[in-house]
Amino acid sequence: MKAKKESTVNRPTQLNNEVLVEHFGFFPLAFVDDVINAVNDLIYQAANSLEKFVEEEIGQGEETMQGMVQVETLLESAVDKNFDFFELYVLRNILAIPQDVKIQLAHHKGRDYDITEEEERVLDEELEDVRRKLLTQKFLNHRLHREKAVVSKRLDRLHKCQLQLETLSALANGHNIAPLHDTLRFVNDQIGALKATLQIVREDVNSSDIQDLFGTPSDREKWLQEIVSRQITAAKGIQDDSPKPHNNLINNAEVERELSKVKQELGDAQVWRHVDEIISAAERANVLVYLFLLGTTITSVFGPKADPDIVASHQTYITPAIWSTYVWSVIHLLLGGFVIYQFFDQAHEQAVHGVGWHFVISAILNAAWFWLWTRGHEIISFFAILITASSVGFVFCKYYWMHHLEHKYPAATWADTILVHAPFSLWHGGITVLTVINLFAIFQNVKPSGPSTLQVILVVLGLVFLASTAIGYVEYKHRRGDLVGSFVISFALFAIWDNQTEPVIRWTAFALAILTALYPARPWIFSVMTATLSTQTMGLNGQPVSQSSPPGTPSLADSIESIDEQFMEDLRVSANNALLSPQLVQEEFPMILRGEDDRLIVIVGPCSIHNIEAALEYAHRLKELATELSPDLLIIMRAYFEKPRTTVGWKGLINDPDIDNSFNINKGLRVARKLLCDLTNSGIPVGCELLDTISPQFLADLISWGAIGARTTESQLHRELASGVSFPVGFKNGTDGNVGIAMDAIRAASAPHHFLGVTKQGLAAIINTRGNDLCHVILRGGSSGPNYSKEYIATYKSALDKAKLQSNIMVDCSHGNSSKNHRNQPIVAADLAAQVAAGDRSIMGVMIESNINEGNQKVPAEGPKGLKYGVSITDACVDWETTVEILRGLANAVRQRRQVHGRQ
């Protein structure tokens, strides 16, 4: 036998920790946590017993309460410090197996772990082949089950059809059913007999004999009968003077509806007898006014006193080319068609009720404007054209309360579209363009030297107004907009581009003309894009699409559907206005991290927020102070909603907003987001700790700065999370004071990552990040002691430079640096201020745990109602007065640092 090659993979050695878990049946860390929890329970019981004993012997009082709080704080500090040592010692020396020790359990005997790389590769290939076969088999089974279900449904339908055919066949044979064409002939004969009967009834009703039975009709009844007769005559083509026989069935239901409508709408019969005369007058008035409009236009353009070049005499920097006026020739032509078309019965509703007398008003106003315009009265003509635009819009636009042609009288035939809707739509767009031109004619005059900068800006704004109006015509009222009016404005923008010579005005008009011309066609453009994508052989991720993709792979059609959903999202959103925090992230914070801004960042606020009212009051105070100190400090409010616990305790506002162990997390998320919205709206940026990897999806758009705590800096999940957020992130050193893990976290977070996460919709997804280059170190001390002194800062700065990381250091004045005594925070801040004043630039930020009132408190037996206002229920904080002193001292230190470096 050949001797085996030396193994390069020692599996038992690599799996020693897993073997230990398998042997014990539990995780070693869980065992250590259980021990720590048990000891903590004993300590809490002892502390409670001591508190009761002191109260019985000495009595209750403020001094007693403060003394017990200090005793518990010192006890917790000592316990946490010793537990850190205990946990490290146990995990490293007791519940650990050296990597060079080869361990095998009893059920591992007989297994060969010493294999070569080649043998391992072969096994991997075999496993991969088996996996592919299983997936293929699963896919085939799925297809077979689906096809089976389809075939079963088809068989069921065929069976039902067979039963129905057998039933019909039996009925036909047993009952001697007549052939189908005989039945249809019988039905046709019955309909003909019914028509004849109805005709006789109608003639009898109109005869004098029947009318005499009801007495002599009144004037109103005669008038109503006349209206009904006209409706019947108009509907069936019967002339009163020479009735013609016909076989069409009279729609009596329609007559009844019309009669009911007339009865409801008519008020006084004496007035409404003249309705027909008024309608005839409106039609005649339309003819006369159209002739007046046409004559005025021809006289103004071609008459003896006409200006030979109307356009040139009113030249502005927004005047279009002369060929744009051809639109008005089309408008006059179509309006002439409208005047003729109104006399046809099918145009009665559209022309008379849809347009009404507004054509008369609009035409007279338009003629008056043109006369004033051609004679140089720009100011008066501007007001005339404003009224004209309102009148034309009143006819066309559907959002007006009375005459809404497009809404109540939609086009039923091509004649309605061309001769009623089209002329008013063209008029609608053309009058808008003329209004803008008239406005500029009042204030602007073309000079040989060209337009001034202000004139160019005003013209560009005018062009943007025209383009936005054209887009608004397309979009208004659920996309059933004025496409023709939008085309007129686009046509005018092309004419402006052709006529103007100033480059900015010219090419702005051209770009907006292209935009407005293509905008109505975007649904078809998207359709073409979708069709093009569906024929591509490349996937959306840039990889070739395999013809035999494994089951579960999204198809290209599914991907295109998701693209369509993106196109269909936020269709009714008019704008997205950035909040303060994104602006802060994009401008101020990165400038400080990159050394372009010498201000000091200060993260200050309560250890954790449990009272919304107190948080808002604190924010109000902090906002005023932040504005005052803004030249020297960039102040961010600490708004922590999640708290890491060494063992057990209140985990924060999100986890338990009512502080009663109800754990209403849904309420907590809503309350937290509402508070962040209020804080951001007030103008104060906020910083949060990213303790959970899911909750940032609910809050991240309102956060300006994030922190990764000492217990999670080493977590792979939190490093991946930091790589994808849109704001800077600070990594704290470990609980033992190790800064190396924070530097490793910065390198990890700055790189792209791919991991499992959730979307804004709460769906599981694969998250791809680009990396976050705005990360920094936070020094918070540890079990080895504080690390804020000058020597530590210099050491860590050198380590960051050696690792080729930005030497940005933020120092936490609380936690290990204050030995968990809040009264030491001013001491730490004063030391940091002295270093900054001496010229140190590596200290870019400071963290302070502050509240309205100092200290901390426990939740009493009666619950949150018994809590003191403005006092922390987690770590102890300094009060507001101390906070103001600290911040002013830091601001003064920044000013001194500028003097050291020769800046003012």
220 falls within a domain: no
562 falls within a domain: no
147 falls within a domain: no
Q: In 3D, which of 471, 425, 428, 466 has the Cα closest to residue 571? A: 471
Taking residues 374-391, report their average pLDDT: 78
Q: Using alpha carbons, list the distances in angstroms from residue 712 to 37, 63, 533, 780, 861.
A: 20, 37, 44, 14, 32
334 has a pLDDT exceeding 60 = yes
Residue 147's contacts (CB-CB under 8 Å, 6 or more residues apart) are none
Angstrom distance (rounded) from CA 647 to CA 872: 19
Q: Which residues on adjacent β-strands are paired with residue 538?
A: 544
16 has a pLDDT exceeding 60 = no
Better-predicted residue by pLDDT, 822 or 238: 822
DSSP character at residue 502: -
pLDDT tens-digit profile of 692-705?
A: 888 888 888 889 99
> Cβ-count burial of 164 within 10 angstroms (0-12 exposed, 13-18 middle, 19+ buried)?
exposed
Block residue for tokens 């007989």? 110
Q: How confident is the model at residue 66 (pLDDT cuts 50, 70, 90)?
A: confident
Q: In 3D, which of 789, 859, 796 has the Cα closest to residue 817? A: 789
Query: Are 623 and 490 part of one and the same domain?
Result: no
Better-predicted residue by pLDDT, 209 or 657: 657
4 has a pLDDT exceeding 60 = no
pLDDT tens-digit profile of 799-837?
A: 999 999 999 999 999 999 999 999 999 999 999 999 999
Q: Using alpha carbons, list the distances in angstroms from residue 182 to 169, 171, 177, 178, 189.
A: 18, 17, 10, 7, 11
Angstrom distance (rounded) from CA 461 to CA 440: 11
> Cβ-count burial of 691 within 10 angstroms (0-12 exposed, 13-18 middle, 19+ buried)?
buried
Q: How confident is the model at residue 399 (pLDDT cuts 50, 70, 90)?
A: very low
Taking residues 583-601, report their average pLDDT: 75
Q: What pLDDT shows up at residue 720?
A: 94
Contact between 613 and 674 under an 8 Å Cβ cutoff? The reply is no
DSSP character at residue 874: S
Amino acid at 571: L
Give percent of the chain with pLDDT exceeding 70: 70
Better-predicted residue by pLDDT, 265 or 614: 614
Better-predicted residue by pLDDT, 606 or 234: 606
DSSP character at residue 482: -
Contact between 697 and 759 under an 8 Å Cβ cutoff? The reply is yes
CB atoms within 10 A of CB 287: 14
Contact between 817 and 811 under an 8 Å Cβ cutoff? The reply is yes
DSSP string, 174-243: HHTPPPHHHHHHHHHHHHHHHHHHHHHHHHHHHSHHHHHHT-S--HHHHHHHHHHHHHHHHHHT--SSS-
Q: What pLDDT shows up at residue 229?
A: 66
Which three-class secondary structure state does DSSP give residue 686? Answer: strand
DSSP character at residue 694: S
Q: How confident is the model at residue 668 (pLDDT cuts 50, 70, 90)?
A: very high
Most confident of 20-24, 106-110, 160-164, 395-399: 160-164
Angstrom distance (rounded) from CA 459 to CA 509: 10
pLDDT tens-digit profile of 611-649?
A: 999 999 999 999 999 999 999 999 999 999 988 766 677
User: What are phi and psi for residue 411, nearest 5 degrees?
Assistant: -70, 130
Angstrom distance (rounded) from CA 117 to CA 764: 36
Pairing of strands 729-732, 754-758: unpaired
Q: What pLDDT shows up at residue 779?
A: 96
Q: In 3D, which of 718, 703, 713, 766 has the Cα closest to residue 738? A: 713
Angstrom distance (rounded) from CA 778 to CA 800: 12
Domains of the chain: total: 3
**Lowest-confidence region among 354-363, 473-482, 573-582, 860-869:** 573-582
Q: How confident is the model at residue 444 (pLDDT cuts 50, 70, 90)?
A: low
Q: How confident is the model at residue 374 (pLDDT cuts 50, 70, 90)?
A: confident
Domain that residue 25 falls in: 14-108
Query: Are 468 and 597 part of one and the same domain?
Result: no
Domain's final residue, options 522, 552, 570: 522
170 falls within a domain: no
886 falls within a domain: yes
Better-predicted residue by pLDDT, 703 or 434: 703
DSSP string, 616-681: HHHHHHHHHHHHHHTTTEEEEEE-------SSSS---TTT-TTSSS---HHHHHHHHHHHHHHHHH
Taking residues 680-687, report their average pLDDT: 89
Angstrom distance (rounded) from CA 196 to CA 250: 11
651 has a pLDDT exceeding 80 = yes
Describe the crossing of helices 378-396 and 358-374 by its angle, rounded to 10 degrees: 160
Q: What pLDDT shows up at residue 886?
A: 96
Query: Are 654 and 514 part of one and the same domain?
Result: no
How is the chain split among helix, strand and coil, in percent rounded to 5? 60, 5, 30
Query: Are 517 and 666 part of one and the same domain?
Result: no
Q: Is the dihedral of CA 451, 453, 458, 463 positive or negative?
A: positive
CB atoms within 10 A of CB 889: 17
Q: Using alpha carbons, list the distances in angstroms from residue 49 to 44, 55, 650, 904.
A: 8, 10, 21, 60
Contact between 495 and 321 under an 8 Å Cβ cutoff? The reply is yes
Give the rounded distance of the alpha carbon of 34 from its chain centre: 46
Q: What pLDDT shows up at residue 740?
A: 92
Q: Is the dihedral of CA 828, 831, 835, 836 positive or negative?
A: positive
Q: What pLDDT shows up at residue 216?
A: 56
Taking residues 725-745, report their average pLDDT: 92
392 falls within a domain: yes
Q: In 3D, which of 832, 833, 823, 826 has the Cα closest to residue 875? A: 823
213 has a pLDDT exceeding 50 = no
Block residue for tokens 């008379």? 352
Query: Are 500 and 641 part of one and the same domain?
Result: no
DSSP string, 536-568: -SB-TTSSBPPTTPPTTPPPHHHHHHHHHHHHT
Which three-class secondary structure state does DSSP give residue 856? Answer: strand
Q: What pLDDT shows up at residue 226?
A: 65
Better-predicted residue by pLDDT, 478 or 182: 182
**Lowest-confidence region among 274-283, 309-318, 651-660:** 274-283
Taking residues 284-293, report their average pLDDT: 79
Better-predicted residue by pLDDT, 241 or 383: 383
Q: Using alpha carbons, list the distances in angstroms from residue 48 to 43, 45, 556, 861.
A: 9, 5, 65, 13
Taking residues 433-459, report their average pLDDT: 79
Domain's final residue, options 108, 124, 140: 108
728 has a pLDDT exceeding 80 = yes
CB atoms within 10 A of CB 701: 18
Q: Tell me the average pLDDT of the chain.
A: 76
pLDDT tens-digit profile of 487-522?
A: 888 888 888 888 888 888 888 888 888 888 887 776
Query: Are 508 and 614 part of one and the same domain?
Result: no
253 falls within a domain: no
Better-predicted residue by pLDDT, 250 or 704: 704
Q: How confident is the model at residue 404 (pLDDT cuts 50, 70, 90)?
A: low
Which three-class secondary structure state does DSSP give residue 596? Answer: coil
Q: What pLDDT shows up at residue 349?
A: 62
Amino acid at 263: K
**Lowest-confidence region among 137-151, 584-598, 795-809, 871-885:** 584-598
Residue 500's contacts (CB-CB under 8 Å, 6 or more residues apart) are 317, 318, 319, 506, 509
> Cβ-count burial of 162 within 10 angstroms (0-12 exposed, 13-18 middle, 19+ buried)?
exposed
Angstrom distance (rounded) from CA 365 to CA 427: 13
Contact between 805 and 747 under an 8 Å Cβ cutoff? The reply is yes
Q: How confident is the model at residue 207 (pLDDT cuts 50, 70, 90)?
A: low
Taking residues 2-16, report their average pLDDT: 41
Domain's final residue, options 503, 522, 541: 522
Taking residues 879-896, report their average pLDDT: 95
Q: Element (H or E) spanning 265, and its range?
A: helix 252-265
Angstrom distance (rounded) from CA 219 to CA 271: 12
Better-predicted residue by pLDDT, 465 or 830: 830
Q: What pLDDT shows up at residue 617?
A: 95
Q: Which two tokens stand for residue 692?
A: 């959970």
pLDDT tens-digit profile of 79-98?
A: 878 888 887 887 777 777 77
Query: Are 337 and 457 part of one and the same domain?
Result: yes
Better-predicted residue by pLDDT, 405 or 510: 510
Query: Are 366 and 499 part of one and the same domain?
Result: yes
18 has a pLDDT exceeding 60 = yes
Q: How confident is the model at residue 854 (pLDDT cuts 50, 70, 90)?
A: very high
Contact between 262 and 221 under an 8 Å Cβ cutoff? The reply is no
Residue 867's contacts (CB-CB under 8 Å, 6 or more residues apart) are 610, 611, 857, 859, 860, 873
49 has a pLDDT exceeding 70 = yes
Query: Are 349 and 476 part of one and the same domain?
Result: yes
35 falls within a domain: yes
Q: Which residues on adjacent β-strands are paired with residue 375?
A: none
CB atoms within 10 A of CB 43: 16
Q: Which residues on adjacent β-strands are paired with residue 775?
A: 729
856 has a pLDDT exceeding 90 = yes
pTM above threshold 0.75: no
Angstrom distance (rounded) from CA 893 to CA 845: 12
Angstrom distance (rounded) from CA 15 to CA 21: 10
Better-predicted residue by pLDDT, 802 or 30: 802
Better-predicted residue by pLDDT, 562 or 472: 472
Q: Residues, the chain, total?
A: 904
Q: Which two tokens stand for residue 69?
A: 């709080």
Query: Are 696 and 815 part of one and the same domain?
Result: yes
Residue 837's Cβ-side half-sphere holds a number of Cα atoms within 13 Å equal to 13
Angstrom distance (rounded) from CA 590 to CA 727: 9
Q: Which two tokens stand for residue 575?
A: 């704008």
Residue 492's Cβ-side half-sphere holds a number of Cα atoms within 13 Å equal to 30
CATH of the domain at 626: 3.20.20.70
Query: Are 603 and 723 part of one and the same domain?
Result: yes
Query: Are 288 and 384 part of one and the same domain?
Result: yes
CB atoms within 10 A of CB 494: 20
